Structures are given as structure tokens and as C-alpha cells.
Amino acid sequence: MSLEFSYRHLYYFWVVAKEGGVSKAAERLGMAVQTVSTQVRELEKSLGFALLKPAGRGVALTEAGEVALRQADLIFQLGEQLPANLRESVGSRVVRLTVGISDGLSKLAVRHLLQPIIEAEPDLRLLCHEDQFEGLLGELALHRLDVVLADRPAPTNPNLKVYSHSLGFSAMAWYAPEALYEAAAADFPRSLGQVPILLPTTQTAVRLRLDQWLERQGVKPRIVGEFEDSALLATFGAGGFGVFPAAELMHEKLTHRYELRRVGPCEGVEEHFYAIGTAKKISHPLVRRLLPDRV
């Protein structure tokens, strides 16, 4: 079966699912009911699953049909966006880059990672979407994103053709507001068991390494807050809420903008950064600027 044939059948199924019945779909498409019904059966035959089941005078989705409809929504939504994207792009100098940002990635590091792109392209229109890691990989595979920035590589999945490219890493250190600095610095790192502690949530890749580091130091932390957003974590830390770990890559911003003080190193713990794309060899010229070795 050809690709065109497959998408045509998928479109008929999509209209039937949206209209809630074959008759209504046939009326919308200006086709015979039998023709539409045959097209949907051909799609079910090619996929090996029943997608629709009778429901009153109409039809309802099977479990497989619900999965197929979600995918069809994404596919045809992209098609609907094509004319607007062409009108916006043709004849314009604006260069678009759509970046997915994993909710586990330090947001304080995102600007640093994107800085080479921002400096290189004065006509850049940067679109940033933050979401859960797995959701972003799905969007990337559908080519709705140019690249995903994350704190971990993509998992091995034969059905998901994405590739991880290391952007490097940063050592971690502990930072404190002025009010907690002396207590945290005295007898560090054992002092971390005596002061309120803020940590990234367990959704982040670095959290497990931090927990293991605290255990090795024999510290039982009094955790008073957990944050997915590192900028929000730093904001609460600067407000005197607790002592927290952060990538030393952001040392200048943490000490100047947030007026925090470095308490001590978190030796052996690093925050890693990855650019995830749909090819082993990055071809997008702006995305290539992210990579330290320009692979």
C-alpha cells in the first residue's frame, strides 16, 4: 500500500471519528456512505485493528481507534498549519527555531545553552515549548520541534528515531542566601543536615545523584521544598527559604542577580545537558551552533 493511499484512508477515518458517524462524514465529504465505509475498512485491514464500533445510530472509537485518532489529530493539524507557515516564511528574513525544553532541565542554563544561536542570528524568531520529557520526544519525532534540550539522553526505542548529542556538563555546588550562609558553611557538608534544604524534584536526572551524594556524606537533609523549575528554586533560595544545589555554570548569575553565596562543592555530582534531534548528523545550521564539537 502506498503512503498516499494510507493517508487518504486515515483522513476518511478522521472525519468519521470527528463527525461521530459514517453518514455525517459522507455528507461532509460529499461522498457516498458506502465509499467512506469501504475506505475506513481498508485502513482497519492495513493496520490490523478495528478502529470503530457501533454506538446507537452512530459509531464510537475502539481503544485502537482512540490511539489512531490522537495520531491523526497531530498529522492533520500540521497540514492545517502549512498555509499560514508558508505565508509567514516566504519573502521574510525571519529565521524560526522551535525548541522543546524538558521540564527537568535547569532553566537557568537554557539561556546559556541558547546564547550562541541568539548571537549568531539577528533575525531569529525563537519558539520555546516546555513540557515533560517523553511528550517532547513525541513532538520531535513528528517534526513539530527542531530540537529538544534536556538533562538526559533519549532512551533507546526502535520506534522512536531520535538521537542524543552531548552539550557538556556542569559541576554542582551548594548555594545559600546571606541569612543561612554562616550556618551552612560551618562544618560543611555535615551542616547541610542542620539547615533547611531545597532540591530539584525526582523528575530531574540530577536528583538521584544529589540524594546519593547526601547519603555518602551521612547527611539527613530537612527538605522544605522541591521544584521542577530551577529558576523558581533559586528565587525561593534567594528569599531565605533554604540552601540548595545548582550548576556552577550559573555561578555569576546566582551570586550577582540572586545575591547568593557559594557554600561548597557537591563533588562528583554533575548536571548534564543534551540536544536531541531526529538525525545522527545534525544538519540544521542553528542547532549545530549548540554543539561544542559541531558534529
Q: What are the structural domains of the chain?
A: 3-88 (1.10.10.10), 94-168+274-288 (3.40.190.10), 169-271 (3.40.190.10)
Number of CB atoms found within 10 A of residue 3's CB: 7
User: DSSP code of 220?
Assistant: -
Nearest to 151 by CA among 114, 106, 112, 108: 106
In sequence order, the β-bridge partners of residue 187 are none
How far does CA 271 lie from the centroid of its chain? 17
For residue 79, pLDDT beyond 90: no
Is 100 in contact with 131 (CB distance < 8 Å)?
Answer: yes
Greater model confidence, 130 or 262: 262
Greater model confidence, 134 or 180: 180
Overall average pLDDT of the 136-146 stretch: 85
Q: What are phi and psi of 183, to 5 degrees?
A: -65, -35
Question: pLDDT for 229-253, tens place per residue?
Answer: 888 999 999 999 999 999 999 999 9
Q: How far is CA 41 from CA 20, 22, 51, 55, 131, in A?
A: 16, 12, 9, 17, 36
Q: In sequence order, which residues have a C-beta less than 8 Å from that of residue 177 and are 6 or more positions away?
A: 237, 238, 239, 240, 259, 260, 261
Q: How far is CA 153 from CA 38, 79, 165, 198, in A?
A: 44, 30, 8, 25
Q: What are phi and psi of 128, to 5 degrees?
A: -115, 130
For residue 277, pLDDT beyond 70: yes
For residue 149, pLDDT beyond 60: yes
For residue 101, pLDDT beyond 50: yes
Q: Spell 199-210 as b/e; 16+ CB within 10 A means b.
A: bbeeebbbbebb
Question: pLDDT for 25-42, tens place per residue?
Answer: 888 877 888 888 898 998
CA angle 113, 147, 156 (to 5 degrees): 110
Look at phi and psi of residue 240 and say left if phi exceeds 0, alpha if psi is from -120 to 50, else beta: left
- Banded pLDDT at 4 (limits 50, 70, 90): very low
CA–CA dist 278, 161 (Å, integer): 6
* Residue 201: predicted pLDDT: 92
Average pLDDT, the chain: 86
pTM of the model: 0.64
